[in-house]
Amino acid sequence: MSTRSLLWFRKGLRVHDNPALLRACDGATSVMPVFVLDPWFMSPARVGGNRVRFLLESLRDLDASLQQRGSRLLVVHGDPTKVIPVALQKWQCTRLCFELDTEPYALIRDAEVRERANANHVNVHAPSSHTLYDMDCLLAKCPNSSPPTNYATFLKLAASLGSPAKPVPAPASIPGTIDGDIAELVALLGDVCTGHGVPTLEELGYEPIAENEGFPARGGETEGLRRLRETLSERTYVAEFKKPSTNPTTLWRPLTEAFGGSKIEPKPPANPFEAAKRKGADGKTNSKTTKDTLMAPATTALSPYMKFGCVSARTFYHELHDLLRELKGAHSKPPESLEGQLLWREFYYLCAFGTPNFYKMEGNRICRQINWTWDQERLEAWENGKTGFPWIDACMKQLKKEGWMHHLSRHAVACFLTRGDLFVHWEAGAAVFDRELVDADYALNNGNWMWLSCSCFFYQYFRVYGPVSFGKKWDKNGDFIRKYLPVLKVRIGRFPNHK
DNA sequence: TTAGAGTTGATTTT
DNA sequence: AAAATCAACTCTAA
């Protein structure tokens, strides 16, 4: 009997390290890769334009990668809890594969779809590949199924499971999609499907964003892996990486310049043919030609690729570890190191998975109950960059414009909104970040807001980021605040050309 | 019960 | 640039 697989993409927008993809292909006569875009959810009130643009770019890249392997991506518009069950039935699929998603809304959505699939005798496979470890495995190791609320304990817990699984390879080819043209297949879905194809921003009701505006890196697996490998080729940068000492006011600039060039020479390849490929006729590396178009801040800017699963955490981890092994211990260590960042992500994912109501204060057992205000005037001033503190306002303008802020900027504005100055509820700030950030992630966003508001994880509430002093410490010449608050470019006084 | 630790403060001193 | 000081929180491990 022939097997037709429906491969449902949600996060995990990649062909490398994609166990659900391999499972869909295994012994199948045809595989139908689908992404369900819900236009009701993808609206300016819920998701910022920068993140939508990144998603659309990622979908186009995924489609191209699938086409290279003899397949293609079908983007269907509608509610996935309706579209997927109907598609399984109308397309006569016997197998449903998707990457496990541990966010609460996703667990509810997927339970509904699983139930419908099981009722129709469809085999469902949902492997864990968004995180380094399977969250169920990690949680099983926690006393009373309560994840640790400090990082050191988490590290021990993770270490007890050994090294994360190695990434699985991308398939060289994928069984063809179901016969028939796209319009016919879509028509079979009836009115649960309101359209198909990758839409434009405008079609979703967004203002267009010019190519050189907004978030300065393009979405997708191809670009994500390229940036990962460029980053890892900067051996000094990786070896010395300490998150707290990266400069939040560094403007986006070409990646080579951003990462300062490798002082530590790469290990010469063992294979002489490989060496010949890497060196041009003039003895210089060939990679320079493409580097100039990659823009980067002080950090790696890989988080949006992690959020959408364009880059696999396990691929990142193991490729990073290959380099760390070569460096023989001469590198920074968690919590501050690059590896430490991947483990922070894992830490928050586990906390979010093991804590009911992680996204809010009430009913959240790890969250301190505080009588925050919901003062609209303060909240709006903060959100719109009108507090009167140039450092805070510049950060918020950057968020709205680019969908991006450096990690420490996020700390500064979150501290300012909550315990530091305005005493507004952290949930209000988290909602703004959740909408605007290109890399907004349920576990990381809520976890960090609890951290910064001293609601959980961190409790030294007398340590406050000065809304003037902290920015001044990094932005000595005021270049950052002038870029995002152009009104400050105008110098008032007798010496308009004063430098 | 208590000592020690905690990714990323600000300011002053060396 | 790095270390000491300031003032002082809560949680974990012993």
Nearest nucleotide to A153, CA against C1' atoms: C12
In the sheet that holds A30-37, the strands lie side by side as A123-125, A95-98, A4-9, A30-37, A74-77, A195-196
Decide: CB of A39 under 7 A of nucleic strand B: no
Nearest nucleotide to A469, CA against C1' atoms: B10
Nearest nucleotide to A415, CA against C1' atoms: B9
Predicted confidence at residue A243, as pLDDT, reads 93
Predicted confidence at residue A470, as pLDDT, reads 96
Predicted confidence at residue A265, as pLDDT, reads 75
Predicted confidence at residue A465, as pLDDT, reads 97
Nearest protein residue, CA measured to C1' of B6:
A458
What predicted TM-score, i.e. pTM, was given to this entire model?
0.94
Decide: CB of A423 under 7 A of nucleic strand B: no
Nearest nucleotide to A451, CA against C1' atoms: B7
Residue type, A149: T
Nearest nucleotide to A464, CA against C1' atoms: B9
Nearest protein residue, CA measured to C1' of B9:
A463
> CA A460 – C1' C4 distance (Å)?
19
Please give chain A's pLDDT, 499 residues, in tens.
789 999 999 999 999 999 999 999 999 999 999 999 998 889 999 999 999 999 999 999 999 999 999 999 999 999 999 999 999 999 999 999 999 999 999 999 999 999 999 999 999 999 999 999 999 999 999 999 999 999 999 999 999 999 999 999 999 999 999 888 888 999 999 999 999 999 999 999 999 999 899 999 999 999 999 999 999 999 999 999 999 999 999 999 988 788 877 778 777 655 544 444 444 333 334 444 444 478 999 999 999 999 999 999 999 999 999 999 999 889 999 999 999 999 999 999 999 999 999 999 999 999 999 999 999 999 999 999 999 999 999 999 999 999 999 999 999 999 999 999 999 999 999 999 999 999 999 999 999 999 999 999 999 999 999 999 999 999 988 999 999 999 898 765 544 444 4
Decide: CB of A473 under 7 A of nucleic strand B: yes
Nearest protein residue, CA measured to C1' of B8:
A244
Q: Which residue, A331, A429, A330, A321, is CA-closest to A372?
A: A429
Q: Which bases of chain B are contacted by protein, using any atom under 7 A from a CB? A: 5-11
Q: Strand C: which residues have Cβ below 7 Å from it?
A: A 148-150, 153, 459-462
> CA A461 – C1' C7 distance (Å)?
11
> CA A352 – C1' B14 distance (Å)?
45
Nearest nucleotide to A456, CA against C1' atoms: C10
Residues 151-180 of A with CB under 7 A from strand B: 151-152
Q: Which bases of chain C are contacted by protein, using any atom under 7 A from a CB? A: 7-13
Decide: CB of A351 under 7 A of nucleic strand B: no
> CA A266 – C1' C5 distance (Å)?
42
Contact A418, A424 (CB under 8 A): yes
Predicted confidence at residue A291, as pLDDT, reads 44
> CA A339 – C1' C1 distance (Å)?
26
Nearest nucleotide to A459, CA against C1' atoms: C9
Decide: CB of A416 under 7 A of nucleic strand B: no
> CA A249 – C1' B13 distance (Å)?
27
> CA A454 – C1' B11 distance (Å)?
23
